Structure 1
């Protein structure tokens, strides 16, 4: 049996939604993006959202909203996808790498306190694999130090912490709809906030800094306004080509309808895994999966002699991955190395196993049987 690591759950609903964009003959930034932004905001319970082409773009723009002075510092977990820290560099700020919590793999609140100094202006918590950072504690800590919080919710869509949607705890929340994530638009991302004023300039920033996007100008031109200058727009600041388009939004609208169902299916799969591994001393879950109101994107385990385990799984056609190397091991981030002993130790044991809504019970049992054949 061949089992892949990730797979988007897409079908007829997405095709029908895309057909609406085809029928309207509008594939770029248009009405479907606006509809998706509105429905996403309603779903997570925030004031407003801005659709972009990736979570990387979302993080870049989110930090730019505060116009921090160049050279200020942003606290980021050392174990995350590179985009979390690259967004800091995009804004000409300095990443301060914080160690991870040994049990949750999220940012260590204790090390945050050690790494914080007067030049720090923001913190970017990441819900690693979808496991929530204790945002009540982090927000209290950040507010007492006048730090802005950009919540990196790339690994989670539809999850909650203490009954409140992940991505709505911080000043801004950034989501990923990349192919492998909890829901997908192919690629894509979203910036959400309870403060619409923070988001207003980001609508221009995502569209090359133009104050009226193509759809706004089209609607104005199609109205009864007889003025000749409906084409007119202005650029007052540097912007980026970061917009979501109507094709992506069409997929997102269909996926949003399925999101709760897909997350519940992931919970069922994770329960099957966790039950099957209860007696296994060689392979154990890397985070304390809490299977209620969750949105886990990845099933990560800790294994002694990881390389031998990966080869063992590969020989039996079970795909695996490693998420992630500590960022300070990459040449780009070596100038920002700091003491992160927990991450440097734990990451060498981490392996990601197959998890996606269309994974069958039989496939999960096969993966478990292959794991049980492994001996460290």
Structure 2
């Protein structure tokens, strides 16, 4: 019997060498590597500017804070996502309005979005669930007509495109995750990207405890030839957070970014193997309509009616599984914001995540397929 894990970061000696360069400089915190990574990430996705942070949770929090929405205003969010999407709303003292998911894509339902909208809604946070793109052209037209800001939660995607345009650049702000299981990793970490560079400027201070000049800037100001004594001086004008990315994370990210296209194409090949090998009339179905072109799918999810029995059978075959995610209004924290989301409440009970990572072999997928197709 094989033992196949669910996720595995694709890291090697190149990342270690990049970390070594940060060690050699003896600058491990917020510094030049973070700045370099921000610039290269912006170039990669075609964004005006980016701000590196320690998680996508931090990115979502700061992205919403950039607009200074009045306390108590409402933000539309899909009910089926990781808790961070909705917690960012609560962090900003706003109110989440939970929207049902699309039956086929598991992204935010544009039909229910329209039904849940009121004039108190100031923003919407679409999530590209499992890496499958939300129909961003339609969503952006809807939001623009109502003067609603769009914060793209791209935690499940890095390098993916929709209609030729990078995910994370359709909305007003895009937020990315580089947590260890995601499309690319910095161990933990995240990025905020936008074409509105002025909008992002305050976030650079906010991620560094509100300080208007970070340690690297002060270090550079203290260079050879600067004989002034007040190079150390900084000011704190507004509330900030300890959300910064550091140079160790950025060192890994710079190498991972070079590998990202190759890793995404490998995931496409693996998904094609899965999809082409699944029994058409079997008990297990693909969870979303995987489109294997310009994609960056983070997870391979399936739908199966008898989920618990399926999970146990996979375990008996040494195949790791997971469930991503429960509708948020099933958690006590979000119960008070419960709304009518029947599709999510029905579909989530069938969802199972199966192994997907670049180093997964075709032989391992064939082994998983044999177990899947044998499930009755």
- Quote the residue 1:108 is aligned against: 109
Shift of 1:170: 0.5
Q: Does 1:207 pair with 2:215? A: no
Instruction: Tell me, in whole angstroms, the C-alpha distance in 2 between the residues paired with 1:280 and 1:249.
Output: 46
- Quote the residue 2:141 is aligned against: 140
Query: Secondary structure of 1:230's match?
Result: helix
- Quote the residue 2:26 is aligned against: 25
Q: Does 1:176 pair with 2:174? A: no
Unaligned 5+ runs, structure 2: none
Instruction: Tell me, in whole angstroms, the C-alpha distance in 2 between the residues paired with 1:164 and 1:155.
Output: 16
Instruction: Tell me, in whole angstroms, the C-alpha distance in 2 between the residues paired with 1:10 and 1:271.
Output: 23
Would the aligned equivalents of 2:282 and 2:373 in 1 still touch at CA under 8 Å?
no
Would the aligned equivalents of 2:39 and 2:50 in 1 still touch at CA under 8 Å?
yes
Cα 1:372/1:281, change in 2 over 3 Å: closer
Instruction: Tell me, in whole angstroms, the C-alpha distance in 1 between the residues paired with 2:192 and 2:279.
Output: 38
Instruction: Tell me, in whole angstroms, the C-alpha distance in 2 between the residues paired with 1:100 and 1:304.
Output: 18
- Quote the residue 1:151 is aligned against: 152
Structure 1-normalised TM-score? 0.99
Instruction: Tell me, in whole angstroms, the C-alpha distance in 2 between the residues paired with 1:374 and 1:224.
Output: 73
- Quote the residue 2:346 is aligned against: 345
- Quote the residue 2:38 is aligned against: 37
Shift of 1:279: 2.4
Query: Secondary structure of 2:303's match?
Result: strand
Instruction: Tell me, in whole angstroms, the C-alpha distance in 1 between the residues paired with 2:174 and 2:275.
Output: 30
RMSD across aligned C-alpha pairs, in angstroms? 0.6
Instruction: Tell me, in whole angstroms, the C-alpha distance in 1 between the residues paired with 2:168 and 2:305.
Output: 34
Would the aligned equivalents of 1:28 and 1:245 in 2 still touch at CA under 8 Å?
yes
Query: Secondary structure of 1:222's match?
Result: coil
Query: Secondary structure of 1:178's match?
Result: coil
Query: Secondary structure of 2:296's match?
Result: coil
- CA deviations on 1:209-244 (whole Å, 9 max, x unpaired) are 000000000010114221100000000000000000
Instruction: Tell me, in whole angstroms, the C-alpha distance in 2 between the residues paired with 1:144 and 1:223.
Output: 54
Instruction: Tell me, in whole angstroms, the C-alpha distance in 1 between the residues paired with 2:362 and 2:320.
Output: 16
Q: Does 1:331 pair with 2:332? A: yes
Structure 2-normalised TM-score? 0.99
- Quote the residue 2:120 is aligned against: 119
Instruction: Tell me, in whole angstroms, the C-alpha distance in 2 between the residues paired with 1:253 and 1:66.
Output: 30
**Structure 2 matches for 1:52-63, cutoff 5 A?**
52-63=53-64
Instruction: Tell me, in whole angstroms, the C-alpha distance in 1 between the residues paired with 2:153 and 2:305.
Output: 29
Shift of 1:53: 0.1
Shift of 1:253: 0.2
Instruction: Tell me, in whole angstroms, the C-alpha distance in 2 between the residues paired with 1:340 and 1:279.
Output: 29
Instruction: Tell me, in whole angstroms, the C-alpha distance in 2 between the residues paired with 1:314 and 1:148.
Output: 43
- CA deviations on 1:180-227 (whole Å, 9 max, x unpaired) are 000000000000000100100000000000000000000101142211
Instruction: Tell me, in whole angstroms, the C-alpha distance in 1 between the residues paired with 2:54 and 2:146.
Output: 32
- Quote the residue 2:129 is aligned against: 128
Query: Hey, which bits of structure 1, 4+ residues long, moved more than 4 A?
Result: none
Unaligned 5+ runs, structure 1: none
Query: Secondary structure of 2:118's match?
Result: coil
- CA deviations on 1:31-72 (whole Å, 9 max, x unpaired) are 000000000000000110000000000000000000000000
Instruction: Tell me, in whole angstroms, the C-alpha distance in 2 between the residues paired with 1:73 and 1:238.
Output: 22
- Quote the residue 1:296 is aligned against: 297
Instruction: Tell me, in whole angstroms, the C-alpha distance in 2 between the residues paired with 1:257 and 1:219.
Output: 28
Instruction: Tell me, in whole angstroms, the C-alpha distance in 2 between the residues paired with 1:362 and 1:89.
Output: 45
- Quote the residue 2:218 is aligned against: 217
Shift of 1:374: 1.1
- Quote the residue 2:88 is aligned against: 87
Query: Secondary structure of 1:51's match?
Result: strand
Would the aligned equivalents of 1:280 and 1:372 in 2 still touch at CA under 8 Å?
no
Q: Does 1:239 pair with 2:240? A: yes
Would the aligned equivalents of 2:42 and 2:49 in 1 still touch at CA under 8 Å?
yes
